Amino acid sequence: MSERVRTAVRVEGVVQGVGFRPFVYGLAISLGLAGVVGNDVDGVFAEIEGDEETVSKFLTLLRQQAPPLANIERVSTSARQPTGATGFVIATSLPGGERRALVSADSATCADCLGELADPADRRYRYPFINCTNCGPRFTIVMDVPYDRPSTTMRDFAMCAACATEYHDPADRRFHAQPVCCPACGPRLSLTDASGSPIFSAVSDPIAAAGELIRTGQVLAVKGLGGYHLMVDAGNEAAAGALRARKHREDKPFAVMVADMAAARQLCELDGVAERLLLSPRRPIVLVPRGPDAINRIAASVAPGNSHLGVMLPYTPVHHLLLEQLGIPVVATSGNVSDEPIAFRDAEALDRLGRVADAFLVHDRPIHIRTDDSVVRAVSGKAAVLRRSRGYAPEPLRLRHAFPRPVLACGAELKSTFCLGKENRAFVSHHIGDLENAETLLSFTGGIDHFRRLFDIQPQLVAHDLHPDYLSTKYAADLDAVELVGVQHHHAHIASCLADNDADGPVIGVAFDGTGYGAAETIWGGEFLIADLADFERVGFLEPVPMPGGAAAIRNPWRMAAAYLAAAYPGGPPDGLAVRARNEQSWPTVITMAERSVNSPMTSSAGRLFDAAAALLGVRDTIHYEGQAAIELEQLADPAELSGYPAPSMMSARPAGANLAHLRVEGAELIRAVAEDLIAGTDRRVIAARFHRGVAASIVSVCTALRDAHGLATVALSGGVFQNLLLTNEVARDLEAAGFQVLTHSRVPCNDGGISLGQAVVAAARDRRGTL
Ligand SMILES: [Zn+2]
Ligand SMILES: [Zn+2]
């Protein structure tokens, strides 16, 4: 028998509100160990006493068998004097002090709760708010810390005796589950009309009545975890079309919710990664290729012209009950009109969605913070987050370098997020949206205040974009008593990719996106940088072209086709190009604007190059949402076409004031190749594929030249253009074949949703170096 020991154990990470204490209790009891476990502001503490070998076994199992929602960041131990104690107790929570325990993300209903939900003998049979320590709402109901019922939106629901017994019993799955409730004491579901008056239908069950409305083609607003969804029968063209018209949303795809994996497999082609993502407790929307049968089950206007579908499984008991009742896929799109943020407060939802929805399936548990569905997909066998929100936020990313001082990073403008950094943790916020209206700005400022309170972070450094007109930049400039750190947009992209991969650089950074504030008079977006976390130098870029009409050129890709054709053919483009015929009336004006630099800023944006190719190929002259032309161009490309346009020529020059030579890539040569193939009558799908391969080839050739010049063999790919899988896979494969190490995004989006993390790590790196 080994020696008797007593070991103090501290567990940090997401360990509160996830069933960690009962788990420790149960584990200790099962091993016959004595001691105590409790929560404090740092997380979970315990003292474990018994023979040395068993205590060591306990410490191993502590990590191996931790509850599903726990995320252990660190376990530290120290020796104590054995007391001879017998028995194991759970200590009461200790309030006060610094708040370092972490609030967990919301989590989909667990298998145990689903079992009870379906069990007629259970007291929570068909109860739409069933949850336990392993599942249910968290982030969206937490108002303050420490995470305890009075600090959540469950505070007004007094537990009944039966729930209280479970809540206080360490052996129960609901021990200290703050949202615990039942039909006797918890929230209730109701069905109302568009004015908020209850609907009394022939069926008394609101779920059954709501299901009936969807089945008859009506639009239902459903209150979820982080906001309202709008739902219609996904197979009903008239209903989906009506929803589009009422939402003023023209082509942007709707997500679809299906009852289970079997239903998902009927619609989509799923690989192992996609299935894991669909089933994960985070329950994001997963972008997957449509299967052959989708056409029979999904109405055309759900995701017009899109080869992929955004699919998710139910993640609340309400969803489970509703989808089971319906037995058909439903559209589950954000409850908003046009580009507004999703509605999450009940009165506001009725007000804003009253003209969109025919009825409301609601409940009386308030949502504290608006949180959209997350969007992910599988990229070369691993998950890549495109929108990081519900189920992910506010879980911090653990970084390899600590923040010397607390940092707030304000992000960009579109797909906005913010990030708070302290010690080794970066708290990237939920998706806030496009910071262009008062409502979104309020989510942004309110969100920052909320995160600061929850995680007790008082930022001393505030990082922001260099664009003076971004509302996030203005917010930063208005803060008192902080040091400001301006971070160039594309440097932030590359730094976020480095942080995403636990890398420091220096690397060759390829930052391809739509728009970012660059140097005077040029909008950047097709940039090659030599970058580390603290600094960058721009060493290559797409040769700038005019953007005739500025923002109008972003909305109308045909204008970019005109500008690029003018660059490709100084004597005028060849006859017979349909894009010109379609826009004949405005064409000469646009060309004149470009030639005379009238309201035509210069841009090196790769997004605009894709727009030009898309318009030239007749994919789209005008867009309805960001990136639409490029997305449709990617889908047009024939995957079987293996040839590509050669990499365009590069010019190298060292401008006055630059340390390093600049490589300028002639994007217009790719547009000329597209035009010539079109005139030759080549299939558009073949041309689209060749264009993608041409862009990939130019990236590889620039990276190869940069490796020769600077001796760097690692490439970081970031920026919204790399949401294009065809391009990303092509570039990554060819770079790897050429001996490069390639870094891509997985934990934060490659689009502007990742900018705040990049800004935060740049500020920290400069702080470590001692010069901001
Ligand atoms: Zn559960
Ligand atoms: Zn109860």
Rounded to the nearest whole angstrom, what is the distance from the C-alpha of residue 418 to the centroid of ligand 1? 31
Q: What pLDDT, on a 0 to 100 scale, did the predictor assign at position 726?
A: 95
Positive/negative CA dihedral, 755, 494, 488, 461: positive
For the chain, the straight-line distance linking the first and the last C-alpha, in angstroms and rounded, comes to 59
Mean pLDDT of 479-484: 95
Judged by its nearest atom, the ligand closest to the C-alpha of residue 164 is: 2
φ, ψ dihedrals at 287, nearest 5°: -80, 120
21 within 8 A of 172, measured Cβ to Cβ = no
Rounded to the nearest whole angstrom, what is the distance from the C-alpha of residue 127 to the centroid of ligand 2? 11
Judged by its nearest atom, the ligand closest to the C-alpha of residue 174 is: 1
Closest CA to 154 of 142, 164, 144: 142
Judged by its nearest atom, the ligand closest to the C-alpha of residue 158 is: 2
Place of tokens 């998710």: 312
93 within 8 A of 39, measured Cβ to Cβ = yes
Rounded to the nearest whole angstrom, what is the distance from the C-alpha of residue 281 to the centroid of ligand 1? 11
Q: Which helix (H) or strand (E) holds 290?
A: none
Q: Which helix (H) or strand (E) holds 493?
A: helix 489-500
Rounded to the nearest whole angstrom, what is the distance from the C-alpha of residue 575 to the centroid of ligand 1? 66
CA–CA gap between residue 302 and residue 751 (Å, rounded)? 24
Which parts of 617-683 fold into alpha helices (H)?
628-636, 667-679
Q: What pLDDT, on a 0 to 100 scale, did the predictor assign at position 94?
A: 57
Judged by its nearest atom, the ligand closest to the C-alpha of residue 187 is: 2
Rounded to the nearest whole angstrom, what is the distance from the C-alpha of residue 184 to the centroid of ligand 2? 5
Positive/negative CA dihedral, 361, 362, 363, 368: positive
Amino acid at 552: A
Check residue 727 and give left, alpha or beta (phi > 0: left; psi -120 to 50: alpha): alpha
Mean pLDDT of 415-434: 95
Mean pLDDT of 688-704: 97
Place of tokens 């017994």: 165
Rounded to the nearest whole angstrom, what is the distance from the C-alpha of residue 650 to the centroid of ligand 2? 70
The C-alpha angle 251, 253, 257, rounded to 5 degrees, equals: 150
Rounded to the nearest whole angstrom, what is the distance from the C-alpha of residue 188 to the centroid of ligand 2? 12
Rounded to the nearest whole angstrom, what is the distance from the C-alpha of residue 367 to the centroid of ligand 2? 20
Q: What pLDDT, on a 0 to 100 scale, did the predictor assign at position 100?
A: 54
> For residue range 264-321, what is the model confidence (pLDDT) as tens digits?
999 999 999 999 999 999 999 999 999 999 988 999 999 998 899 999 999 999 999 9
Judged by its nearest atom, the ligand closest to the C-alpha of residue 109 is: 1
3-class DSSP state for residue 558?
helix
Place of tokens 């040839």: 643
> Token pair of 412, please?
């960009």
> For residue range 390-411, what is the model confidence (pLDDT) as tens digits?
999 999 999 999 999 999 999 9
Residues lying with their CB under 5 A of ligand 1, a single-atom ion: 110, 113, 132, 134-135
3-class DSSP state for residue 409?
strand
Judged by its nearest atom, the ligand closest to the C-alpha of residue 137 is: 1
Rounded to the nearest whole angstrom, what is the distance from the C-alpha of residue 166 to the centroid of ligand 2? 9
Q: Which has more confidence, 596 or 250?
A: 596
> Token pair of 462, please?
């505030």
Rounded to the nearest whole angstrom, what is the distance from the C-alpha of residue 167 to the centroid of ligand 2? 10
3-class DSSP state for residue 402?
strand
Positive/negative CA dihedral, 258, 263, 267, 273: positive
715 within 8 A of 497, measured Cβ to Cβ = no
Q: What pLDDT, on a 0 to 100 scale, did the predictor assign at position 200?
A: 73
> Token pair of 133, please?
């320590």
Residues whose CB falls within 8 Å of the CB of residue 85, separated by 6 or more in sequence, listed in order? 34, 35, 49
CA distances from 473 to 110, 535, 574, 711 (A): 41, 20, 45, 36
CA–CA gap between residue 740 and residue 382 (Å, rounded)? 19
Q: What pLDDT, on a 0 to 100 scale, did the predictor assign at position 21?
A: 85
Q: What pLDDT, on a 0 to 100 scale, did the predictor assign at position 96?
A: 47
42 within 8 A of 111, measured Cβ to Cβ = no
Closest CA to 494 of 475, 516, 472, 474: 516
pLDDT at 341 over 90: no
Judged by its nearest atom, the ligand closest to the C-alpha of residue 127 is: 2
CA–CA gap between residue 314 and residue 320 (Å, rounded)? 5
Rounded to the nearest whole angstrom, what is the distance from the C-alpha of residue 313 to the centroid of ligand 1? 16
Neighbours of 398 (CB within 10 A): 14
| Strands 536-542 and 522-531, bridge-based pairing | antiparallel
Q: What pLDDT, on a 0 to 100 scale, did the predictor assign at position 392?
A: 96
Q: Which range has the top average pLDDT, 102-111, 143-152, 524-533?
A: 524-533
> Token pair of 564, please?
């690029």
Rounded to the nearest whole angstrom, what is the distance from the C-alpha of residue 411 to the centroid of ligand 1? 35
Rounded to the nearest whole angstrom, what is the distance from the C-alpha of residue 185 to the centroid of ligand 2? 4
Rounded to the nearest whole angstrom, what is the distance from the C-alpha of residue 71 to the centroid of ligand 1? 17
Neighbours of 148 (CB within 10 A): 17
Judged by its nearest atom, the ligand closest to the C-alpha of residue 67 is: 1
Rounded to the nearest whole angstrom, what is the distance from the C-alpha of residue 128 to the centroid of ligand 1? 12
> Token pair of 404, please?
């010397």
Rounded to the nearest whole angstrom, what is the distance from the C-alpha of residue 463 to the centroid of ligand 2? 46
Length of the chain equals: 772
Closest CA to 114 of 390, 316, 373: 316
For residue 546, what are the β-bridge partners?
602
pLDDT at 736 over 50: yes
Residue 259 is given by DSSP the state S
Tell me if the bond preceding 506 is cis, omega within 30° of 0: yes
> For residue range 2-20, what is the model confidence (pLDDT) as tens digits?
789 999 999 988 787 777 8
Q: What pLDDT, on a 0 to 100 scale, did the predictor assign at position 437?
A: 82
Q: What pLDDT, on a 0 to 100 scale, did the predictor assign at position 97?
A: 42
Q: What pLDDT, on a 0 to 100 scale, did the predictor assign at position 148?
A: 83
Judged by its nearest atom, the ligand closest to the C-alpha of residue 136 is: 1
Q: In what order do the strands lie in the sheet with 397-409?
A: 419-428, 397-409, 461-465, 483-487
Rounded to the nearest whole angstrom, what is the distance from the C-alpha of residue 116 to the centroid of ligand 1? 9
Rounded to the nearest whole angstrom, what is the distance from the C-alpha of residue 288 to the centroid of ligand 1? 28
Rounded to the nearest whole angstrom, what is the distance from the C-alpha of residue 172 to the centroid of ligand 2? 14
Residues whose CB falls within 8 Å of the CB of residue 121, separated by 6 or more in sequence, listed in order? none
Q: Helices 684-710 & 667-679, crossing angle to 10 degrees?
A: 160
pLDDT at 1 over 80: no
Neighbours of 91 (CB within 10 A): 14
Residues lying with their CB under 5 A of ligand 2, a single-atom ion: 160, 163, 182, 184-185
Rounded to the nearest whole angstrom, what is the distance from the C-alpha of residue 165 to the centroid of ligand 2? 9
Q: Which helix (H) or strand (E) holds 152?
A: none
Closest CA to 648 of 714, 572, 700: 700
Residues whose CB falls within 8 Å of the CB of residue 42, separated by 6 or more in sequence, listed in order? 10, 12, 98, 100, 101
SS3 assignment for 500-536:
HCCCCCCEEEEEEEEEEECCCCEEEEEEEEEECCCCE
CA–CA gap between residue 496 and residue 417 (Å, rounded)? 13
> Token pair of 125, please?
């049979």
Place of tokens 């104590």: 80
> For residue range 544-584, what is the model confidence (pLDDT) as tens digits?
999 999 999 999 999 999 999 999 999 989 999 999 999 99
Judged by its nearest atom, the ligand closest to the C-alpha of residue 117 is: 1
Residues whose CB falls within 8 Å of the CB of residue 296, separated by 6 or more in sequence, listed in order? none
Rounded to the nearest whole angstrom, what is the distance from the C-alpha of residue 164 to the centroid of ligand 2? 7
User: What mean pLDDT value characterizes the chain?
Assistant: 93
Mean pLDDT of 706-716: 96
3-class DSSP state for residue 164?
helix
CA–CA gap between residue 210 and residue 361 (Å, rounded)? 7
- Per-residue pLDDT band for 147 (boundaries 50, 70, 90) equals confident
Flag the least confident range among 68-72, 177-181, 210-214: 68-72
Q: What pLDDT, on a 0 to 100 scale, did the predictor assign at position 201?
A: 67
3-class DSSP state for residue 144?
coil
> For residue range 67-120, what is the model confidence (pLDDT) as tens digits?
887 888 889 999 999 998 888 988 766 554 444 567 889 999 999 999 999 999
Judged by its nearest atom, the ligand closest to the C-alpha of residue 182 is: 2
Judged by its nearest atom, the ligand closest to the C-alpha of residue 133 is: 1
Rounded to the nearest whole angstrom, what is the distance from the C-alpha of residue 130 to the centroid of ligand 1? 7
Q: What pLDDT, on a 0 to 100 scale, did the predictor assign at position 22?
A: 82
Rounded to the nearest whole angstrom, what is the distance from the C-alpha of residue 173 to the centroid of ligand 1? 8
CA–CA gap between residue 149 and residue 179 (Å, rounded)? 7
496 within 8 A of 761, measured Cβ to Cβ = yes
Flag the least confident range among 96-100, 117-121, 235-239, 734-738: 96-100
385 within 8 A of 429, measured Cβ to Cβ = no
